[in-house]
Amino acid sequence: MGARVKAVRQPERVLRTISGEVWAIQPDWLQSIWRIAQGGGDLEAAAHRRAQLAEEEFETAADMTIQDGVARIPLFGPTFPRANLMTELSGATSLRHFAMQLAQALEREDVRQILLEVDSPGGVVPGVDETAQLIAEANARKPVTAYVVGAAASAAYWLVSAAGEIVTAATGELGSIGVVAAVAVQEEPDANGMRGIEIVSSNAPDKRPDPRTDDGHATILDRLDAIERIFIDRVAANRGVSREAVIRDFGGGGLLTGADAVAAGMADRVGTLDSTIGELAARAAGSEPGAASAARHSGREEEFMTMATDAPATETAASATTQTPPPAAPATPTAPGPQPAAQAPTLQEAASVARACNEAGLPSLASRLLSEGKVGSSATAAIEEAKGVKDVCAAFNRSELADRFVARGLSADDVRAVLEPSAVTPDEEAIDTTLPAATKGTAAQGPIDTDSIYKARAEQARQAS
Report the candidate in 337, 377, 332 with the shortest Cα–Cα distance to residue 356.
377
pLDDT tens profile 122-159:
888 888 999 999 999 999 999 999 999 999 999 999 99
Asked whether 244 and 154 are in contact (CB, 8 A), the reply is no
Buried b (16+ CB within 10 A) or exposed e, 256-280: bbbbbbbbbbbbbbbbeeeebbebb
**Surface-to-core class of residue 253, CB atoms within 10 Å of its CB (0-12 exposed, 13-18 middle, 19+ buried):** middle
Instruction: Give me the percent of the chain exceeding a pLDDT of 70.
Output: 59
119, β-bridge pairs: 76
Tell me: do 230 and 276 sit in the same domain: yes
Top-confidence range, 18-22, 57-61, 272-276:
272-276
Residue 273 lies in a domain: yes
The span from the CA of 209 to the CA of 16, in Å, is 15
Which pLDDT does position 56 carry in this prediction?
40
Which pLDDT does position 8 carry in this prediction?
36
The span from the CA of 356 to the CA of 363, in Å, is 9
Residue 252 has pLDDT above 60, yes or no: yes
Residue 453 has pLDDT above 80, yes or no: no
Mean pLDDT over all residues of the chain? Answer: 72
Task: Record the pTM.
Answer: 0.60
Which pLDDT does position 450 carry in this prediction?
42
Tell me: do 221 and 357 sit in the same domain: no
Tell me: do 455 and 366 sit in the same domain: no
Residue 247 lies in a domain: yes
Tell me: do 178 and 219 sit in the same domain: yes
Tell me: do 377 and 457 sit in the same domain: no
The span from the CA of 14 to the CA of 21, in Å, is 11
Residue 447 has pLDDT above 70, yes or no: no
Residue 304 has pLDDT above 50, yes or no: no
pLDDT confidence bin for 36, thresholds 50/70/90? low
Which pLDDT does position 38 carry in this prediction?
54
Residue 236 lies in a domain: yes
CA atoms within 13 A on the CB side of 439: 15
Residue 333 lies in a domain: no
65-69, 105-109, 163-167, 216-220: segment of lowest average pLDDT: 216-220
Which pLDDT does position 177 carry in this prediction?
93
Tell me: do 243 and 360 sit in the same domain: no
Tell me: do 134 and 81 sit in the same domain: yes
Tell me: do 26 and 165 sit in the same domain: yes
Which CATH number goes with the domain that contains 70?
A: 3.90.226.10
pLDDT confidence bin for 342, thresholds 50/70/90? low
Domain hosting residue 412, numbered range: 347-422
Tell me: do 457 and 355 sit in the same domain: no
pLDDT confidence bin for 272, thresholds 50/70/90? very high
Domain boundary among 281, 314, 335: 281
Q: How many domains does the chain have?
A: 3
